[in-house]
A and B are shown apart, each in its own frame.
Chain A
Amino acid sequence: GQNIDQPTEMTATEGAIVQINCTYQTSGFNGLFWYQQHAGEAPTFLSYNVLDGLEEKGRFSSFLSRSKGYSYLLLKELQMKDSASYLCAVRTPLVFGKGTRLSVIA
């Protein structure tokens, strides 16, 4: 089976940096995904990590430590439009955590 944990909610200020953590336990690991989901909309793909280390993509970066079963998503220069839920997922077919609802305030 698998178990994925993320904080339920986070609040951060516009222009700041926020780190959203995800811990997982899974039988059979073949990568970790991060998705963004705005309220009432479809999830959209943000990043994929299969090797340890940091993957940077513009304002978003994702980190993976397979030995610790740990990942984080780093969002820099926060904008109001980044207010959304961020979902961590592992395995194939993808199994999602409950998501972290991020609120960006002025």
Chain B
Amino acid sequence: NAGVMQNPRHLVRRRGQEARLRCSPMKGHSHVYWYRQLPEEGLKFMVYLQKENIIDESGMPKERFSAEFPKEGPSILRIQQVVRGDSAAYFCASSLSGTEPNYGYTFGSGTRLTVV
């Protein structure tokens, strides 16, 4: 009964390259959330997706960042032309429902992105 699976666990990119972070939600969960955590900071909400739909992207930077959750396969967070400031831990979470918050979110182990 796998939980939320994120890969890779660690990702190193040079400035200007693209970073692709993957997230497979818990079995049966259809709601996916992406968060960014800078060192010594809290979790910052980025985007909320359901299958094939972006529900809330109010936390996503307007440029270089995009997210998708296709009908088949994992959710992808894509960062184009990475800069040093993108270095952070990126966590994905999933939930059974987006409207019954008492279920809570289950988080993956995160992807630690380092831009060199």
Contacts and interface: CB of A to CB of B under 8 A. Distances in A.
B33 interface: yes
Nearest to B33: A93
Contact of A92 (B35, B101, B107): B101
Contacts of A24: none
A30 interface: yes
Interface stretch (B13-21, B42-50, B76-84): B42-50
A73 B102 CA distance: 17
B109 interface: yes
Contact of B110 (A30, A31, A42, A93): A42
A33 B35 CA distance: 16
A105 interface: no
A43 B107 contact: yes
B91 interface: yes
A84 B93 CA distance: 19
Contacts of B106: 45
Nearest to A96: B43
B39 to A, nearest CB: 10
For chain B, which range describes its interface: under 10, 10 to 19, 20 to 34, or 35 or more residues?
20 to 34
B55 to A, nearest CB: 8
Q: What does DSSP make chain A's interface, helix, strand, loop or mixed?
A: loop
B72 interface: no
A53 B106 CA distance: 25
Contact of B42 (A31, A48, A96): A96
B80 to A, nearest CB: 23
Contacts of B98: 92-93
Contacts of B43: 43, 87, 96
B56 interface: yes
Given A87-B43, A98-B41, A93 B48 contact: yes
B99 A97 contact: no
A7 B35 CA distance: 21
B45 A93 contact: yes
Given A31-B101, A48-B101, A48-B102, A94 B109 contact: no
Interface of A: 30-31, 33, 41-45, 48, 50, 87, 92-99
